[in-house]
Amino acid sequence: MNRIARAITTFNLAVGAAVSWLMIAIVFVQFAVVLLRYVFGVGSIWAQESILYMHGFLFMLTAGYSLAVNAHVRVDVFYREAAPAARAAVDLVGAVLFLLPMCVVIWVQSWPFVAMAWSILEGSRETSGIPAIFVLKTAILAYAGLLALQGLALILRAAAALAGPDAVRSAYSAGRE
């Protein structure tokens, strides 16, 4: 179980590391847009839309990464001070009852929306905009999938931790991988 959880986490870490480079690209493109607009009096709808695309990809594709590195928002009433076994139980219950069902809802509800966008190859409403809104909308499905995968890794790690005291120490005492 730990090997599968580690493989999923490694995958999400790789996706997060790759997509995080979009932050730098956003800064440079935004700087170029401002420079072109206010210094040279030239606007670019394509450049402005590319910032929205990059921001959307950055947010959607790094959710699994955030969960993997424990950087997500958590209502930390007792989790921080709880024993490793209690933290494993909270992770297991939270992922099974809340995280995975929400990922399924997001996937099911967004599938027709994304499928329609692909069927018409939806593009920008602006003539000179990016003609690939269908690709951007696909990030919604990727978001749900990557987050669900990391939720599965969380469940596997928590279940392994609850299986025995040695597993609890290795999975929760030294921090997450």
CA dist 6 and 154 (Å) reads 10
Tell me what pLDDT residue 41 has: 94
Contact between 13 and 69 (Cβ < 8 Å): yes
Tell me what pLDDT residue 170 has: 58
Contact between 103 and 148 (Cβ < 8 Å): yes
- 65-108 pLDDT, tens digit each: 999 998 887 777 777 788 888 889 989 999 999 999 999 999 99
**Rounded to 5 degrees, what are φ and ψ at 164?**
-170, 160
Q: Where are the domains positioned within the chain?
A: 2-173
Task: Write the burial class of residue 9 (CB in 10 Å: 0-12 exposed, 13-18 middle, 19+ buried).
Answer: buried
The pair of structure tokens assigned to 63 is 């959710």
Please, what is the Cα angle at 132 between 130 and 133, to 5 degrees?
100
- Measure Cα distances from 108 to 39, 89, 95, 102 in Å: 46, 28, 18, 10
Average confidence score pLDDT of the chain: 91
- 29-61 pLDDT, tens digit each: 999 999 999 999 999 999 999 999 999 999 999
